[in-house]
Structure 1
Amino acid sequence: MQTQEQEREELEAAETPTGRSPRVLWIVVTLALIAGLVFVKMRFFPAPNTDAKGSGGGRGAAGGGKGGPGAKGAGQKLPVQVYVVQPTNLSDEVAATGSVLADESVIIKSELSGKITSLNIREGQPVRRGQLLFSINADEAQAAINKQQYNIRLFRDQEKRQRTLLDKEYISTQEYEQANNQLQTAQADLKALQASLAKAYVRAPFDGVLGLTTATIGTYVSPGTEITTLSRVRPVKIDFAVPGRFASSVRVGDVVSITDEGTSKKYDAKVYAIDPQIDPVSRTQPVRARYANTRDELRPGAFVKVNLQLGESTTALQVPTEAVIPEASGYSVYLVQNGKMVPKKVKIGIRSDKVLQITDGLAVGDSVIRTGILQVKPGDAVRAGAD
């Protein structure tokens, strides 16, 4: 057991500054931590100032002039640029791509087997209708024709004798008909041989320009062998297609502007035929125009750009393309009304690189936001600036 003197020494040691220092240090650190948390809460998470007289009023409510961080943006307006809608001139134009076709074109082929005995093809040169292009050895066909002609003479004499006997009632009608049938059959066979012989002499079916060929005199050809091509290139046809929604606007006689992709030169052609059906795959309307091509400006097979004028309007409403917002259900724009942003559904029409036609949803004088679209929400206060 400790003596009273020892107990008194221990009590005096506990009351010395050295003994009190850990407890005081702990209290100071705790208070500093609490003060730091309070500062962070007030600095970065201020309480909403719902009522100047309420529990959240405090210094933020009383200090209306100085205010807290939230009071500064309460009256701030986002600056945006707007486009004021006005009626404009607009050409209703449809752009498409097309191909140049020859007015008439055919592949010249052989219909018989044999060797080419004459060749009058001048590659790339014009020919007239009916002009002989080449001929095939037809000696066998000619010999068969000669033989058949002799047979016809014989059958004709027999038919005359049988007719005489029939008139005198020496033979029956059946015997005469047999002789007459032989004559008619021989004459029909002669016409077939003559038609076959005509195939040995190939002529131009129409006026045109010959293509290239690899055939020469002595070349053996078979039925279906391609010899050359023949094309009529004055005039030429222009094949193109327009979207189905414009099908009702295209008329026979409409003038289309054609731009040659190779030379960038422009020509005017006239629509002369419209396909009665819309292509079910591409949903486009096939159209065909004709160009005189008197100077051989366009060559069949060339690629061209086609512009078709469907009309012109002086009251069209157009807005900058960046002001129109595509959505899943259509298109919309943002308007400025009474200093606030208001979304508006619209329908679009003809578009170009910079402007887009609005066919429904806007009126003359509407202010359409064209900048800052991503920063504003419906109902936000905005400060409009003119372009």
Structure 2
Amino acid sequence: MKRWIAIVLVVLVVGGIIVYNKVLHPAPGAEGKPPGGGAKGGPGGARGGGMTSINGFVVVSKRLQEDIVSSGSLLAAEQVDIYPEISARITQLNIREGQPVAKGALLVKLFDADLRAQLQKLQAQADNARRTEERNKQLLDRGGISQQEYDIVTTNLRSSLADIELVKANLQRTEIRAPFSGVIGLRNVSSGAVVSPNTLIARLQQVTSLKLDFSIPEKYGPFVHNGSKILFLVDGANNPSQGIVYAIEPGVEEQTRNLRIRARVSNTSLQYRPGTFARVTLTVQNEQSLVVPTQAVIPQTRSNQVVVIKNGKAKFTDVKIGLRTEGTVQVLEGLSRGDTVATTGLLFLKPDSPVKIGGMITLPQSEAKVATN
């Protein structure tokens, strides 16, 4: 009996709870739509069909400037390592270390007594061959000798003259002269030393004008040409100096995909030395261009898009972009000056969806430089 009474009490308690939840206190919105007008957002939500509020930007024309910062090296305008052409003993050494020399100045004289003696011998033989040729010429004119005999004599004369020229060329190899005006470096030999073609005597450099080599990414190649100005800064200098681009490598380096560029730097005051590291800044563009904020561009698989606001509706437009800075993107095609583009809420916009512009943004005051190595 007690068992049945307990079961009845449990049933009454459970029934009371159900009646309380379902009848007396129903859940909000249980008999209709949820508050807010939809299951996935209220008015103005992603799928609520309301008007989306965004920030906009009016396309303007701005003088866009992008600087490339690269590492470079200063090189001598002309440089040559001085080696002898023959093996011989140094008889005269006219090298003053660290001093300027003029083009054609005699730097080193090697032993040449044997060559000069050989030259005198050949000159005597050539004189004799010349007199013989003159006598045989007279005999040939009178019919005293044949043409063949005369040809042998003239051949001997030409052979003697050729031997003389050979010895003179060998004598020139005993003299080492400066190929251009410059500054001679530290010498590695002394007078009286026996040198060979593998002996480095000194280095000659032209330092009143220097070359500056640096590289930039290949995509900036179209913006650089002969005559472009660069700025560079070396360690220990307070102010940058200027150089002028005068040569561009026709091909791109396969490993780095960089384009090698060479500029000319004036160094009349000898303030720079060849081999110095330089930090180069090259302005690749500085002209009026249409620009939009970076956040306004929507990257696509094969293109880029922006959302143009026209008559209160969103229009997705393909654009061709150019240079990028920290806060702006250059627009080459697809927009006109004065167009209004969306900069926020891009993920919630659909083609021809109604749009409300809540505010307008402006461009950043400064542009960042592009750093390359």
The question of a shared fold, defined as TM-score above 0.5 by the shorter chain, is answered with yes
Query: Which residues of 2 match residues 1-387 of structure 1 at below 5 A?
Result: 16-22=1-7, 24-25=9-10, 28-29=13-14, 58-60=31-33, 70=39, 73-75=42-44, 80-91=54-65, 99-239=73-213, 252=226, 254-262=227-235, 263=237, 265-273=239-247, 277-279=250-252, 281=254, 288-302=262-276, 303-308=278-283, 312-313=287-288, 316-336=289-309, 343-371=316-344, 376-378=348-350, 379=353, 384-387=358-361
d(CA) in 1 for partners of 2:70, 2:234: 13
d(CA) in 1 for partners of 2:200, 2:86: 12
Secondary structure of the 1:234 match is strand
Q: Contact conserved, 1:323 with 1:333, CA < 8 A, in 2?
A: yes
CA change 1:349–1:248 in 2 (3 A) is closer
CA change 1:131–1:24 in 2 (3 A) is same
Render the CA deviation track for 1:303-342: whole Å, top value 9, x for unaligned: 45242565522xx222223333433323233455566665
d(CA) in 2 for partners of 1:370, 1:240: 38
Instruction: Provide the residue aligned with 2:48 in structure 1.
Output: none
Shift of 1:156: 3.4
d(CA) in 1 for partners of 2:299, 2:238: 34
Q: 2:91 corresponds to which letter in structure 1? A: T
CA change 1:286–1:136 in 2 (3 A) is same
Q: 2:60 corresponds to which letter in structure 1? A: Q
RMSD in angstroms over aligned alpha carbons?
4.1
Secondary structure of the 2:118 match is helix
CA change 1:331–1:98 in 2 (3 A) is farther
d(CA) in 2 for partners of 1:71, 1:38: 27
d(CA) in 1 for partners of 2:156, 2:33: 127
Q: Contact conserved, 2:77 with 2:205, CA < 8 A, in 1?
A: yes
Shift of 1:147: 2.7
Render the CA deviation track for 1:34-64: whole Å, top value 9, x for unaligned: 988999x967xx78xxxxxxxxxx4548xxx
CA change 1:115–1:79 in 2 (3 A) is farther
Greater relative contact order (Cα 8 A, min sep 6): structure 1 or 2?
A: 2
Shift of 1:109: 1.8
Render the CA deviation track for 1:156-186: whole Å, top value 9, x for unaligned: 3433444454455443332233223222211
d(CA) in 2 for partners of 1:35, 1:212: 105
Secondary structure of the 1:226 match is coil
Secondary structure of the 2:306 match is strand
CA change 1:320–1:173 in 2 (3 A) is same
Q: 2:112 corresponds to which letter in structure 1? A: A
Shift of 1:193: 0.7
Q: Contact conserved, 2:53 with 2:355, CA < 8 A, in 1?
A: no
d(CA) in 2 for partners of 1:152, 1:27: 146
Total equivalences in the alignment = 350
CA change 1:236–1:353 in 2 (3 A) is same
Shift of 1:357: 1.4
Q: Contact conserved, 2:80 with 2:205, CA < 8 A, in 1?
A: yes
Point out where structure 2 has 5 or more consecutive residues left out of the alignment.
46-50, 362-373
Render the CA deviation track for 1:196-251: whole Å, top value 9, x for unaligned: 11111100011112233322223332225432222223333445567667666655
Q: Contact conserved, 1:244 with 1:278, CA < 8 A, in 2?
A: no
d(CA) in 2 for partners of 1:353, 1:72: 35
CA change 1:384–1:159 in 2 (3 A) is same
d(CA) in 1 for partners of 2:21, 2:234: 74
CA change 1:366–1:211 in 2 (3 A) is same
> Larger helix proportion, structure 1 or 2?
1
CA change 1:330–1:35 in 2 (3 A) is farther
